[in-house]
Structure formats: C-alpha cells, structure tokens
Structure 1
Amino acid sequence: MSPSALPNLDGSLHHHAPPLTRCSILLLGLAASAACAAAPFRIDIVDDQNGWPVPAVELKTTHHARFVSDNAGVIACDLPELMGVETWFHIEGHGYGVKADGFGYRGVRLTPTPGGRATVRVHRELPGKRLGRLTGAGLFAESQRFGRESRWREQGVLGCDTVYVAKYGDRLFWLWGDTTLAKYPLGIFDTLGATTRGNPLRSFEPPLQLRYDYIRDGNGPIRGIAPIEGDGPTWLSGLITLKDKQGADRLVAAYAKIRGMLTAYDVGLCEWNAGKQVFERTRVVWKKETESDKPPLFPDGHVVRWTDGDGEEWLLYGDPFPRLKCRASYEAWSDPAAWEKLEPQKVVKSRDGAAEVTTHGGSIAWNAYRQKWVAIFTQFGGDSPLGEIWYAESDAPTGPWGSAVKVVTHKNYTFYNPLVHPELTPDGSPILLFEGTYTATFADKPEPTPRHDYNQVLYRIDLDDPAFK
C-alpha cells in the first residue's frame, strides 16, 4: 500500500498530500503572513497650518489599542482585525486636535489596508509648536517600519529627567537627572551626561534629530557622572562654566543627595574633573540633621549671566525667576559669603488680564529679537497638574514680569522644569526653543505614553507671531 493512501476508520482509503506539498503550503502561508506583517498601514499626522509632521499624537481605537506618532509624525498600524475595516480613531494631541462630532468625540475614521497610507490633519490650538522628543528610545520606530530614517541609531537611553546645559569649550555639556535603562527603571541615578557640538540642530522644524555623545566607560556602557558619596540619587543643577583668577575654565554645578520621595539631605557644590570624567564634591553647604531642617539658599536651579547698569557681571540663579545672585567668577560662586538673596516674583498676570498665573519651575533668558528678558515656566495648578506652559517678558531679569501668554498645554499630563535654549538658535532670531520633562508623574493617573513618558520634548515658539504683540 502506498504511504500516501492510508485506511480510514471505516476501511476506506484516505489519500494524504505528499510531504513536499504540505511543506509548500506551510511555506506559502508563512510567506503570506510575513508579507502582511511587513506592510502595516501608514498614518501621517501633520499640522494643518504649516504641514509639519506632529510628534506625540495618540490615536486610540474603540477597543483601546493605542498608537503614538514618532518624531516624523508617523504611525504604523498593523492590527490584523482592522485591515479593510472602517475604524474610528480617537485623537489626543496635547494642544493638537480635531473638532468634536455631535457626540463630543474627537477623532477620525480611516480604513487601514496592508501597505496603505492616510494623512490626518490636526489643528494646533496654541503658539507652541512641538518639534519632537530629544531623548529616549524609538524616536523613529514607526518610520523605520517603512524603511525611513534607517540611518538613525538607538543610544541605549529609554528615559531621563530634567535637563541642564552649558557651553564648555567649543561644545555644549548636557546633564540629566534619574535615567531609565532597559535593565532597570533607575538604570542611572547619579546623573547622566553628554556633549554635543555647539550648534547641534540641523533644522528648527520636525523631524527632530539631536544626537548626544553620552559619557561612557571607554567604549562601554553609558554611566553616571556624579558618584558623590552618600545614599540615594545625585541630582545636579546650576550648571555653568566660570573662569577662575588664572583665567582657566571651570565647569561647575550644585549637587543634592536625595532620599525617599524628593527629600534632599546633603547639598553643596561640585566641579567637573576632565581627567576622571566625573563631577567631584568641592564644598558641603548643608546636611540634614533633624526632620525639620531645610536646605539654605544656594546656587542651584537654572543660571543666567547678567550685566547690570554699572557694567558689573552677575550670575542669577532661579526656577524660574532669580532668587540668588553672585559675581560672575569661580571664586564668588564657591564662597557662600558672596551669595546675595533675591525675592522672586511668584504670580504673573496673563496678557488678557483674565488670570493670575502662579509659577512653578522654569527658566529665563535674554532675547535679542524682543530686546527683552523672556521666561518660560510651568503653571502651578491650571487646566492640568503642572502641564500648562506660559511665556512672559520683562525689561530686567529681576522683574517685574507680566503679560503672560499660554503657549503649550498637556491634557492631564506633567511637563515640568522647562529650559529655554537661546544657545541653540542664531542671535536675533524670532525662534525661541525650550524643552521640558514630559511625564505622567504628578498628573491624575493618566496612562503613560509609550516611549515618550519620562523624556525631554522640544517646543518652538515664533516671537513674530501676532500672539506676542
């Protein structure tokens, strides 16, 4: 009897397909599956006012599948159950969106097809234009599924908190706080560091690409750069390059050692050791001895240089508005007796007079285009917890600050410690760039945005916009 003709239970013969035929069918099925998997439906999210791609816009289906646009505004939709099916996608864009329908839903209907493509136009509600993520993984993960942005390479950082930057030689030196790696949420907890060239952005439009040269163990893994003795994370701030009496450049910062939930127990000053590639403690300013102890005023937060009416150069430290000043020298920075207390403004009136905005974190800078000091800061409270960002101006860095304009919003999401970046744009340009930490922390239990949560996002405002007249 042929092996291809075997008896059934009733005695009749059942002819089986030869092994080669079964193998061929299996291979054809796998090939078809691979073809479907390799051809997702492409969705491009664009700003309806300028046609720019819009990163970090979320589309969510009626069965709660979530997709988020990458730095090129691209989404790859690959759900097999939606292929060829008219599908409603809810849209959440944190300041970008579409009009609500009769039931109050904001979204679009699309029919995904393998290898197909659609464009969704969203409307920007405020002056701030989101350029994209600066840190984290998968900046172009969606685009790369379509063979785009293939030259972009991952750098091993999944998330990082709060940025500081200073000019150091012909480079920019960058610091971040607690850092998430794939192997652990606090993969680096004694400060992440990197350098870039002095003008690291090729364009001020998306898609955004800024590549950091992270500080590593030789050619090995990324590592912390502030191994200051003591339990818990080390946070640095007040980063700046100062000249000493001999004219040498000294890269310095303030440090805080942290226990538990945001509690500092040891604060002081530290300095970059270029040979060892670490920050080292140079002075302890305060150590916690009792539960009621609070750190004194010291040069932490964001720092700017200011030349007063007598031609004297100062360092102003604040968050957002100056609360301490000292002479702009290494010797004055390192001497607590040279530090002078300032009283920062706490409330700024909105330009339309309808609101008094209580300030949270932020930073200031001189703006040559406006011939004003400008501030970007997070609102304490507001429409979302620590998610509303405002712009204000003053003739002097010490205030008074007024005529605040809301520039960015985040629906039930936090965007804290925003940093103005005058060093990234040409002198006299109307373009103002700022970044901040985008995180679910401190909001009302939102779903963390995949890949984007706990990362730095860059925004742009144009100071020739009529909103700032």
Structure 2
Amino acid sequence: MSRSPTRWTMILASLLLAWLIHTVLSAQTIDSPTSAPFGIQVVDEQTGRGVPLVELTTTNDIRLITDNAGWIAFDEPGLMNQRVYFSVKSHGYSLPADGFGNRGQAFDVRPGETGTIKIQRHNLAERLYRVTGQGQFHHSVKLGKPVPWEYANLNGEVMGQDSTQAIQLGDRILWTWGDTARPSYPLGNFATSGAWSKLPAKGGMDPSIGIDQQYLVDQDGFSKPMFVNDIPGTVIWMHGMCTVDAPNGQTKVLTHYSIREGLGKERRAGIAMFNESTEQFDQVTRFEEPARLYPRGQSFHHVDDGQEYIYFATPYPLIRVAARWDAVLDPTQYEAWTCLEEGFDLDLKKPALARDGDGKLQYAWRKNTDLVGAEQQRQLVERGEIKQEEAWIQTVDAQSGRKIVLHRGSVRWNDYLDCWVMIANEIYGESSNLGEVYILTSKTLPGQWSKAEKVVTHDHYTFYNPVHHDFLDQDGGRRIYFDGTYTKQFSAKKFPTPRYDYNTIMYGLDLSQINTHTN
C-alpha cells in the first residue's frame, strides 16, 4: 500500500527547490554569458574621441582590442562582479606608468555598466578608424551602442584587404585595393577589388567618421575581381592609377597592371582602362618587353613649363609623363628624374653616370632611362660611384638628424601650407622595419624633401603604402586624411592583431601642428 508524502517531506522538497533556483540565478548573475557585458571605452585625452586598435589585457592574458569607437565589451565568466585590472598599450598612445612600471587601469566589472580610459596620444596624427575588413564596430554592437556606418561589421564579405588606390571621378570616388580575403575560404579575390563612395561635399560621410563605400560585388555578395585574369595561379596588382582625357574627350581612369606569380615573376604587364559600364578594368595595351618606366605608386597632375604632366610618387615624384592619352599608353614617353645618361639601365658595377666636363653629376628629366631612387642612390654611395653630397635625395629625420630611407607614399598639393606635401613610410626604421610614417614638404618638383617629421609610429608592426586622400581635405587643407595597410608582414611579430591585420586604417592630421621644412 503506497504512502502519501508527509507534510514535512513536502516542505523540505520545496526548500530544496527554492535553494536550487536561487543558486542557478546567482550563478547566472555572476557568470552567465547572456548577461549584459561591461563596457570600457578608450578615448584620446586630447579630443575625447574613442581610439581604435588599443589592446587591453587582464592579468591572466585575456586580450581584447578596441573597435572603431574605442569600445571593448567584457563578459568573461568568473570575472563579472570582480575588480579587474587591464593593462593598456597601443601604437603611438600610452598611459602613465605606476610605481611598478605597469600601465593600466582597474574597474569594478558589473554587467551593463561602463568605464572610461583616457589615453595620451604621442602620434601627431590621430588614428580614426579601420576602413576595411570585418568587425569594425563589433564591441559597440555587443554593448548596444549606436554605430555611424551602414555596414558596421561586414561590407562586401571582405575580411582583409591590401593597399589603397583611390581617385575622384566626377562626383564620386573610385576606391581599389589589392589582395582581398573572404569569410568562406582562405583564398579570396586576387585580381583587385573596388568600391564607390560619394564625395563629402556631394552627400558623402564626414571623413572623420568614415567612408560610405559601396563595394562592387559578385552574385554571392563578395567583392568581385576588377580584372579578368586568364593566367591560372597568378595575381593582378595595379599601380599608378590616374585620369586622362580619351580621344573622344571623356575623362578615363588608366592604370598600370601587372600579372604576377605572387612577389616573384611577372607574367604580363601593360596599361588598363576602367570601364564604367562593366565596372572592371580592360587591358588596353600589353608591354611586349619589360618597360623601364611606367605608372607606379600614387599619381598627381601638375603643369610644368606650360605642359601638363602626370607625376608618379614612389614616394619621391621622380617619374612623369605628358598628360595625353597616347603618351600614357606608350612607355617610351615616360621620363625619369635621373643622373644616368639617357637610354641606359642602372648597372651598379659600371653605372653610366651623366657628368659634365667638370665632372659634376647632372640630374635631369630623361626618357627611356632607369630611375635612380633613394635606395639606388644609397647603393651608389656605398659602392663609391657617387659622393654622399651628390645624391639628390638627402632625407633626414627633422628631430634627430638621422638619415632615413623612405619606401612608399603619395605627394599632393596643399593650399593650407602652400606647398607640396608628401606622406610616406620609412623602411629600416627604428621602432618598426616598415611602419613609421613621415610628412615632408617641398615648394618645387621633383623636390629634394630634405627634412621629414614623424607623424605615426607602429611598434614592431608594418604600416605600408600610405596615401593622402586630398579629396577628403577639410578646412582649406589644414586637416588631411591618409590610410595605409596594417599587417604583421615584414615585421618581427609572430601573431597578427585580430580583425585589424591586413586591413587599411585611416589617420587624420592637423597640419597646424607640424613644423614645415620646405625646400
């Protein structure tokens, strides 16, 4: 015969159930991943603006990187409702050290609450946002914060993207990039990616906030190739994108293209034209043999002695061609500012140096002649072929007086400074092999660019191919914007920065804060 539970048994069961419910709810309050995260925003103490790419690390090495708005969302089980210390570091920014040399800040980490870290900026330029890739505002979204971009965390299915070439075409800006990664497979688009945006004066975003880029995509929504490549196993790189009037009077975008086996062998090269109807580049000419001179780096227009030229900065503007359709297509029409006799290649063992009757080295614009850039001049000096004082390029760090070698960059006219402005990165730098960014000025072209002022540093990390986008200039050119590729390649870093690596980052620079050294 069954026995009914006694009254005391039922009371004990009820108490046990209540205790279990309380225990579960208490655990969820402390550790539940569904509870609201704790937010920390890192802001520039000078501007109050959130700083991207700041690394916060707990004492057990949990590492988080701030998003474009300077936020991290912290919801680590076991550390909620605890006092947690975060070490803080960032390229060109820092916190004061305490008595033990630690640089960081502690917070009482509670769900749904926030804290602020004010960080000191040492860079002259201000880091504004990551332009490309995935997760630009991922922490902000987790925290329920408003975001200013239409595509806040994924645009064109782009995960990573290399080296910007951009040009104004009418009221729009055509943006292009190199090798592009996707979410679904390790290999992505290796035939150039593209996007459109509006000029800020024609309805585009304020460049201090972002760029409203609309990617050119394929049927799957991924950034589509801008070139048709018929050579398997190769990539297509483009350089020196420029505008020129076609024979029918229409302004067209031309560029040099190079079909390559990665960093190695070039299989084909020539000039391509952007086709606005297909939104791809058509190969217009193919060089039958390797050309001495062709579009490289970043282009700009300038009139010299009544003739309009297109100059190509690498980063020094030592290559130019008449701004005519036929000339741009013909590699024999390009000129180099060089110290070689016309028509010669550079032979380091026996260079054909152009000297006058008194033995003075003669620099001039010469067609079909090898470029002798900063690196080549350094080699000629080391080999004793020319004296140090004969080198055209004599760039030094304006603060230290240390001689530096610049790698890539751009040259733009600036109304505010009333001179040419170069933004370029250094190779063989002290803080990083290929990550220090300088500003230089010159009244003339090609210019000697003797004094360089550092505006951005990257600690043992690469930031290459910086380019100043003068169509984004504000306040009469006082405020300028430039971006470059942030990557661990060519650096000592073993591990990439999550989300940021192999993507472009935008900086803003107030030119009233720099010392000009024009020549």
Q: Same-fold call, TM > 0.5?
A: yes
Question: Kindly tell me: are residues 2 and 424 of structure 1, through their superposed partners in 2, closer, same or farther at Cα, counting changes over 3 Å?
Answer: farther
Q: Which range moved further: 49-58 or 364-373?
A: 49-58
The letter of the residue matching 2:188 is: G
TM-superposed CA distance for 1:273, in Å, is 2.2
Structure 1 unmatched ranges of 5 or more:
6-11, 288-293
Question: Kindly tell me: are residues 61 and 181 of structure 1, through their superposed partners in 2, closer, same or farther at Cα, counting changes over 3 Å?
Answer: same
Q: 1:333-372 counterparts in 2 under 5 A?
A: 333-343=328-338, 344-345=373-374, 346-352=393-399, 354-372=401-419
The letter of the residue matching 1:178 is: D
The question of 1:50 aligning with 2:47 is answered yes
The question of 1:97 aligning with 2:94 is answered yes
The 2-side partners of 1:340 and 1:216 are apart by 37
In structure 1, the partner of 2:485 is 437
TM-superposed CA distance for 1:59, in Å, is 0.6
Q: Is the 8 Å Cα contact of residues 201 and 209 (structure 1) preserved in structure 2?
A: no
The letter of the residue matching 2:37 is: P
Q: 1:155-304 counterparts in 2 under 5 A?
A: 155=155, 156-199=157-200, 202-205=205-208, 208-217=209-218, 220-231=221-232, 232-285=234-287, 296-304=292-300
TM-superposed CA distance for 1:166, in Å, is 1.0
Q: Identify which of 68, 72, 89 aligns with 2:69.
A: 72
In structure 2, the partner of 1:329 is 324
The 1-side partners of 2:2 and 2:191 are apart by 73
Q: Which range moved further: 119-128 or 445-454?
A: 445-454
The 1-side partners of 2:269 and 2:244 are apart by 20
In structure 1, the partner of 2:307 is 312
TM-superposed CA distance for 1:2, in Å, is 7.3
The 1-side partners of 2:207 and 2:326 are apart by 38
The 2-side partners of 1:25 and 1:101 are apart by 41
Q: Identify which of 104, 109, 113 aligns with 1:107.
A: 104
TM-superposed CA distance for 1:176, in Å, is 0.2
TM-superposed CA distance for 1:392, in Å, is 0.6
Q: Is the 8 Å Cα contact of residues 293 and 331 (structure 2) preserved in structure 1?
A: no
The letter of the residue matching 2:414 is: N
1:100-152: CA deviations, max 9, x gaps? 23333322222322112111011001211101111111111111112123574
The 1-side partners of 2:161 and 2:334 are apart by 31
Question: Kindly tell me: are residues 16 and 380 of structure 1, through their superposed partners in 2, closer, same or farther at Cα, counting changes over 3 Å?
Answer: same
1:396 alignment partner, SS class: coil
The letter of the residue matching 1:451 is: R
Question: Kindly tell me: are residues 464 and 213 of structure 1, through their superposed partners in 2, closer, same or farther at Cα, counting changes over 3 Å?
Answer: same
Q: Is the 8 Å Cα contact of residues 372 and 393 (structure 1) preserved in structure 2?
A: yes
1:207-236: CA deviations, max 9, x gaps? x33221111236844311112322311111
The 2-side partners of 1:185 and 1:197 are apart by 31
Q: Is the 8 Å Cα contact of residues 207 and 472 (structure 2) preserved in structure 1?
A: no
TM-superposed CA distance for 1:369, in Å, is 0.5
The question of 1:85 aligning with 2:85 is answered no
Q: Is the 8 Å Cα contact of residues 286 and 296 (structure 1) preserved in structure 2?
A: no
Q: Is the 8 Å Cα contact of residues 43 and 50 (structure 2) preserved in structure 1?
A: yes
Count the aligned residue pairs.
Answer: 455
The 2-side partners of 1:254 and 1:198 are apart by 25
Q: Is the 8 Å Cα contact of residues 31 and 77 (structure 2) preserved in structure 1?
A: no
Q: Is the 8 Å Cα contact of residues 367 and 373 (structure 1) preserved in structure 2?
A: yes
1:239-298: CA deviations, max 9, x gaps? 1221023311222111111214454332211112233322121222256xxxxxx76321
In structure 2, the partner of 1:399 is 447
The 2-side partners of 1:204 and 1:98 are apart by 27
1:399-446: CA deviations, max 9, x gaps? 111221000001111000000111112472300111000111111024
Q: Is the 8 Å Cα contact of residues 481 and 509 (structure 2) preserved in structure 1?
A: yes
Question: Kindly tell me: are residues 145 and 229 of structure 1, through their superposed partners in 2, closer, same or farther at Cα, counting changes over 3 Å?
Answer: same
The letter of the residue matching 1:304 is: F
The 2-side partners of 1:405 and 1:336 are apart by 35
In structure 2, the partner of 1:40 is 37
The 2-side partners of 1:189 and 1:52 are apart by 35
The letter of the residue matching 2:47 is: N
The letter of the residue matching 1:249 is: T
Q: Is the 8 Å Cα contact of residues 412 and 446 (structure 1) preserved in structure 2?
A: no
The 2-side partners of 1:84 and 1:61 are apart by 15
The 2-side partners of 1:451 and 1:38 are apart by 25
2:512 alignment partner, SS class: coil
1:122 alignment partner, SS class: strand
Normalising by structure 1, what TM-score? 0.89
TM-superposed CA distance for 1:44, in Å, is 0.8
The 1-side partners of 2:64 and 2:166 are apart by 32
TM-superposed CA distance for 1:468, in Å, is 4.5
The 1-side partners of 2:4 and 2:325 are apart by 90
TM-superposed CA distance for 1:87, in Å, is 2.3
Give the strand-richer structure, 1 or 2.
Answer: 1
The question of 1:460 aligning with 2:508 is answered yes
Question: Kindly tell me: are residues 127 and 313 of structure 1, through their superposed partners in 2, closer, same or farther at Cα, counting changes over 3 Å?
Answer: same
Q: Which range moved further: 420-429 or 258-267?
A: 258-267
Normalising by structure 2, what TM-score? 0.80
Q: Which range moved further: 264-273 or 219-228?
A: 219-228
Q: Is the 8 Å Cα contact of residues 31 and 76 (structure 2) preserved in structure 1?
A: no
Question: Kindly tell me: are residues 81 and 347 of structure 1, through their superposed partners in 2, closer, same or farther at Cα, counting changes over 3 Å?
Answer: farther
The 1-side partners of 2:59 and 2:288 are apart by 54
The letter of the residue matching 1:212 is: Q
In structure 2, the partner of 1:411 is 459
